[in-house]
Structures are given as C-alpha cells and as structure tokens.
Amino acid sequence: MLTDTSGIHHITGIVRDAQENVDFYSGVLGLRLVKQTVNFNDKFTRHLFYGDETGSPGTALTFFPYPAEDDGRPGKPQISTAALTIPSNSVSYWQDRLAEHDVTVEGPLNRFDETILRFSDPDGTQLELVTGESDVEPWANGSVPTQHAIRGIHGVTLLSTNIFVTASVLETLGFELRDQAGDRVRYQTQGDRASVVDLLDRDAEFGREGAGSIHHVAVRIPEKDQLYEWHDLFRERGYDVSRVKDRHFFHSLYVREPGGILFELATEAPGLTAEGDLDSLGQSLFLPPWLEEDREMIEGQLQPLDPSSGEGTN
C-alpha cells in the first residue's frame, strides 16, 4: 500500500566548479560537506552532498559540477528556487553575513507568514533563506554559529508548463493545497521538515538546463518495496518513469511528469552515513563497490578538491 511522502528528501543542482561550490555552501552557508562521491551514471563527474551533521533526508543539497557547462537559463519547466530554513531571529545575521561575502541579497520580503532573503550562489542557482520551524539540529562545527545556522530544506518553487497536471502529481504524492498569494500556490505535506512545494502560476519563457539550474527534487519514500508500486502507478498513467535504481545510500526512481518537472522518489535508508566514520564524513572521495577498482583512473580525471573550507568551530 502506497504511503504519502512526508516531504522533500534532497535537491540536486548543476554547477561548474567543485571547489567554488564547497567554498560557498560549506564556507559561507555553513552546511556540512557530508559526502563527496561521483555521479553513478557518469563516474568522471563529482557528486557533492551537503546538509546537517549526517546529511539526513530533508537537509541535503547535492550538486553535479561540470567544468565546461554552459549557463542555464531560467524558465519553464524548471525548479526555479531552492529554499532553506533559518530561525526567525536570524534574518539580520544572514543579511550581514551574505553582504560580508559580497552576495547580493533581495529582501527581507514577506510571503505568507514567512520572512525571506533571496540571493544566488556563484553559478546563479536561485536560493532563499526562509524563517520557519524545523526539527533539524544544525551542524555544530560549521562556519555559522549554531543559533543562526540553517535548519535543513524549507522547500522548492516550481515553474511548470502545466500547473494543473503538476498540482495533480503533488497531490498524488501526498502534498495538500494550503494557500495562495498572488500567482504563488502553496502545497505542503504533514511532515516536520522540508515540506513545502510552491507552484508559480505565471507566464515564463522556456528555460535551459545548465550551470545554475536545479536538475531535480527528490521526495521521501519509506521503503524500497513502495518504489515498485509507485513505478507501476506512474507507468499506468503514461508518465516517463525510470526503473528503480540503487544509489547505494538510498534506492530511487525518477519520473518526468507532464508539466516537465523531474521528480525523484528516494528511500530514507540506509542514508549518507552508511559508509565511513561520522567524524570524517566528506573528507575523502567515496566510491561504491562497483567503481572501486577504477579509483586510480577516476581520481586522475577529477579536479583537485579541498573539502576543509567549511570546517572549524563557530
């Protein structure tokens, strides 16, 4: 029997420079680099995971760095924005911190009952810091004081080519219509973290995937067996759905719904701490067993990376 998702599992973007990515997300935003591995479909491309201390579901931002990638172009159909949760009393702190790192900030803005700071990462990925409640305990040894640190994912904003079909898919997954403000329609799950998906009901040009664009958003699914049921459901509806894939840290499948948004459905277990000591997470390149024999060749093709830019006691 299918179970509604409790919210977002992770968000994955495309960038150019791996070191610049680490310097920003770990050094500036204070997230922990939990795992550095490779794209299992493209072993010569890094895959970087950030989040709380363990990169738990609902906190993970992940990135594929492609050094020669062209700029993405915002538009439909895309995941236009990734939003992260901060404490309600931390808005001024983050305004000052981002300004100190020469990040242009729009806001504070008000939306629903939230306060928002809007900005972009070095590749142009559109980000928001949003005040709100979360059960996430932030990483205590990051570059940001714990009382102001990011509390996981808040949600994503979608630009669909067919908002009604995308809304139907969200409802199928377990999101419920909660509110509307202007052209922004809010869907939310019952989960206690990473529970928000906003749909923008507006005209927009067609976008282009590239550096600075968000590739997909994954939602949490309790067990692997349910993925096969979701696969059959989406296939019966004629959606473009992948087979169930072994991502080592979780199992998942991908579905491209008719509105053009790429969703991943991912299990919560075994998780990013399944391999390696907790204290040394993210410090070395992890390869799954089926790629380990190619380690020397793979490491020789990857640009050097210093994972330490976000370390240190705040």
Q: Give the model confidence (pLDDT) of 151-193 as tens digits.
A: 999 999 999 999 999 999 999 999 999 999 999 999 999 989 9
DSSP output for 34-69: EEEEEETTEEEEEEEEEESTT--TTTEEEEEE-TTP
Q: What pLDDT is stored for residue 279 in this prediction?
A: 84
pLDDT below 50 — which residues of the chain? Answer: 313
Q: Which residues pair with 38 in a beta bridge?
A: 46
Is there a contact between 308 and 27 (Cβ–Cβ < 8 Å)? Answer: no
Closest CA to 178 of 126, 113, 116, 133: 113
DSSP-based three-state secondary structure for 230: helix
Q: What pLDDT is stored for residue 24 in this prediction?
A: 98
The residues near 259 (Cβ < 8 Å, ≥ 6 apart) are 77, 158, 160, 161, 162, 163, 165, 166, 169
Q: What pLDDT is stored for residue 314 in this prediction?
A: 55
Token pair of 120 as six digits: 């972009």
The residues near 279 (Cβ < 8 Å, ≥ 6 apart) are none
* Cα–Cα–Cα angle for 126, 35, 313, rounded to 5 degrees: 85
DSSP-based three-state secondary structure for 292: helix
Query: How far is residue 181 from each of residues 115, 117, 128, 231, measured CA to CA in Å?
Result: 14, 17, 17, 34
Buried b / exposed e along 26-55 (16+ C-beta atoms within 10 A): bbbbbbbbbbbbbebeebebbbbbbbbbbb
